[in-house]
């Protein structure tokens, strides 16, 4: 058997003909040239008394020297009574299986399956933290092969940048991916759980908030005297009156405002608690919304962005307005702090049941049965609560009667 008949120049210069033809190199290997000029390396061999053909690659991606190396490896397998075609098939199946069960593949499958139960912000944040901080380093690895030190090394990169909260969030998110992998039979352990004591501890922080009625009255006077953009002024005032999270205020859509029934209905996809949240509208809030509608009512968002109407206002707008009024948003008052102000004074008034205030704050409480009835169970009580709060805000703003706080308060 003569081996090495072909040359690199002959392979390169081979031209297509009216029908496919072969250029043999010996040892069963040849170059197949098709009518369109495609060039493919093939190896004919016999195994268990049957003639078979093994694909060795295509030219020029696989050179003559590389094709010969593949042929020699296949011949050695034959000498060991092993079918090289079967070896290749198993390797292909193994690679496909590994790709389907990589950390990235399982994470994206988990994200797709559960994103409908999250807010859009949470869904985007979960995926983004993985895409930026995990996939480039461990995304290709089979999830069942990953070890705790590998995940820790990825998290250490985040800690080194001073992003401690992000590091903890990645560990938590990775843990959810591993739990999903266990449930779907792709891995046996949640290695993220092994890292619970290996990260730099989080320093628990609270959103700055004014809870003293006298000082809060001054804040309200400053807000009602704000001279910035009219839509920002409206969002500023409603932030104080609603007790909603900043993202829920700025993301409010006109389709969610029911003027006829004096309600706002925020769908579950936008709420942190992942439940429909109903906000009764007090007289003062209705007046603000009536004044705002001629300006932004033709669009989707009540408070659109300054540059793009198809997006809500920036998440920094209210905090920027507070700073413009001279308030320290780190230590004195934040946009999120209005919730604490409302909660502290509403609980402290002693006029309303605690669960009514908590439902209005969209906090989870009680057992599953009670949660199922929260949407309408306390609506009339919450109407009274929100009208009381708006009236109290008017009194505090006017420097009149101060809310008497009773006993312990809940922020």
CATH number reported for the structural domain that contains residue 56 in this entry: 3.30.160.390
> Is 80 within a domain?
no
Check which CATH number belongs to the domain holding 251 and give it.
1.10.443.10
Count of residues in the chain = 411
Asked, for residue 402, whether it belongs to a domain, the answer is: no
Q: How far apart are CA 337 and CA 339, in angstroms?
A: 5
Examine the domain organization and report whether 167 and 225 are in the same domain.
no
Q: What is the CATH number of the domain that holds 151?
A: 1.10.150.130
Query: Is the CB of residue 128 less than 8 Å from the CB of residue 136?
Result: no
Distances (CA, A) of 225 to 221, 295, 400: 6, 20, 18
Task: Report in angstroms the alpha-carbon separations of 126 from 112, 223, 229, 267, 393.
Answer: 11, 35, 33, 20, 38
Give the other-Cβ count within 10 Å of 73's Cβ: 12
Residues 50 and 112 in one domain: no
What pLDDT score was predicted for residue 91?
Answer: 77
In a domain, 78, yes or no: no
CB-based contacts of 164, cutoff 8 Å, min separation 6: 199, 200, 202, 203
Residue 275 forms part of a structural domain: yes
295 and 372 part of one domain: yes
Last residue in a domain, options 146, 169, 195:
195
Say if residue 391 is in the same domain as residue 274: yes
How many domains are there within the chain?
Answer: 3
Low-confidence ranges of the chain (pLDDT < 50): 366-375, 407-411
pLDDT at 362: 82
Among 338, 311, 309, residue whose Cα is nearest residue 322: 338
**Residue 218 confidence (pLDDT):** 94
pLDDT of residue 274: 54
Q: What is the pLDDT of residue 115?
A: 86
**What is the spatial distance between Cα 171 and Cα 190, in angstroms, rounded to a whole number?**
11
**Of 176, 87, 92, the residue nearest 126 (C-alpha):** 176
Are both 255 and 127 inside the same structural domain?
A: no
Query: Would residue 85 count as lying in a domain?
Result: no
In a shared domain, residues 353 and 298: yes
Containing domain of residue 33, as a range? Answer: 1-71
So what's the pLDDT on residue 269? 60
Do residues 168 and 270 share a domain?
no
Cis omega (within 30 of 0) for bond into 160: no
Residue located via tokens 């009194």: 395
Asked if 132 and 230 sit in the same domain, the reply is no
Output the pLDDT for position 92: 76
Count of other CB atoms within 10 angstroms of residue 145 = 13
pLDDT of residue 95: 66
Last residue of a domain, one of 71, 95, 112: 71
Give yes or no for a contact between 163 and 201, defined as CB atoms under 8 angstroms apart.
Answer: no
Q: Does 409 reside within a domain?
A: no
d(CA 76, CA 89): 17
Residue 134 confidence (pLDDT)? 94
Q: Give the catalytic positions in this structure.
A: 245, 272, 336, 339, 363, 373
Residues 150 and 233 in one domain: no
Locate all alpha helices (DSSP H) within 257-332, ordered by sequence.
Answer: 283-296, 317-324
- What tokens were used for 238? 């409603």
Residues 6+ apart with CB under 8 A from 408: none
pLDDT score of 361: 87
Q: Clarify whether residues 47 and 16 are in a common domain.
A: yes
| HSE-up (13 A, CA, CB side) for residue 173 | 29
Q: Tell me if 92 is assigned to some domain.
A: no
Same domain? For 262 and 166 the reply is: no
The predicted structure's pLDDT at residue 360: 87
Answer with the one of 195, 224, 248 that is the final residue of a domain: 195
Residues 156, 246 within the same domain? no
Rounded CA separation 35/389 (Å): 82
Per-residue pLDDT, 378? 80
| 89 in a structural domain | no
């Amino acid at each position: 058997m003569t081996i090495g008949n072909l040359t690199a120049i002959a392979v390169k210069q081979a031209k297509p003909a009216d029908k496919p033809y072969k250029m043999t190199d010996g040892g069963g290997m040849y170059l197949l040239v098709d009518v369109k000029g495609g060039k493919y390396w093939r190896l004919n061999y016999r195994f268990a008394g049957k003639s078979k053909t093994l694909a060795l690659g295509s030219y020029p991606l696989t050179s003559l020297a590389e094709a010969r190396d593949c042929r020699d490896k296949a011949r050695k397998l034959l000498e060991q009574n092993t079918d090289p075609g079967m070896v290749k098939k198993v390797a292909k199946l193994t690679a496909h299986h590994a790709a389907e069960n990589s950390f990235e593949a399982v994470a994206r499958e988990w994200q797709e399956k559960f994103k409908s139960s999250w807010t859009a912000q949470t869904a985007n944040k979960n995926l983004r933290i993985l895409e930026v901080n995990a996939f480039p380093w461990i995304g290709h690895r089979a999830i069942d092969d990953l070890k705790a030190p590998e995940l820790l090394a990825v998290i250490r990169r985040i800690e080194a940048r001073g992003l401690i909260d992000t590091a903890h969030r990645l560990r938590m998110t990775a843990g959810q991916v591993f739990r999903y992998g266990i449930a779907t039979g792709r891995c046996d352990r949640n290695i993220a759980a092994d890292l619970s004591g290996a990260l730099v501890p989080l320093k628990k922080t609270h959103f700055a908030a004014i809870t003293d009625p006298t000082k809060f009255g001054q804040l309200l006077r400053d807000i009602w005297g704000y001279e910035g953009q009219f839509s920002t002024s409206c969002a500023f005032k409603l932030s104080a009156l609603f007790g909603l999270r900043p993202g829920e205020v700025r993301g409010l859509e006109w389709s969610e405002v029911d003027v006829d029934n004096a309600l706002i209905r925020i769908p579950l996809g936008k709420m942190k608690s992942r439940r429909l949240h109903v906000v009764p509208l007090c007289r003062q809030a209705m007046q603000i919304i009536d004044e705002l509608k001629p300006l932004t009512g033709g669009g989707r968002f009540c408070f659109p962005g300054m540059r793009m109407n198809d997006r809500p206002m920036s998440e920094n707008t209210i905090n920027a307005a507070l700073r413009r009024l001279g308030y320290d948003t780190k230590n004195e008052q934040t946009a999120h702090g209005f919730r604490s102000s409302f909660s502290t004074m509403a609980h402290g008034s002693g006029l309303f049941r605690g669960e009514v205030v908590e439902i209005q704050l969209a906090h989870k409480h009680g057992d599953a049965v009670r949660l199922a009835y929260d949407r309408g169970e306390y609506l009339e009580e919450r109407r009274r609560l929100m009208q009381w709060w708006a009236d109290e805000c008017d009194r505090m703003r006017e420097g009149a009667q101060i809310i008497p706080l009773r006993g312990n308060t809940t922020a």
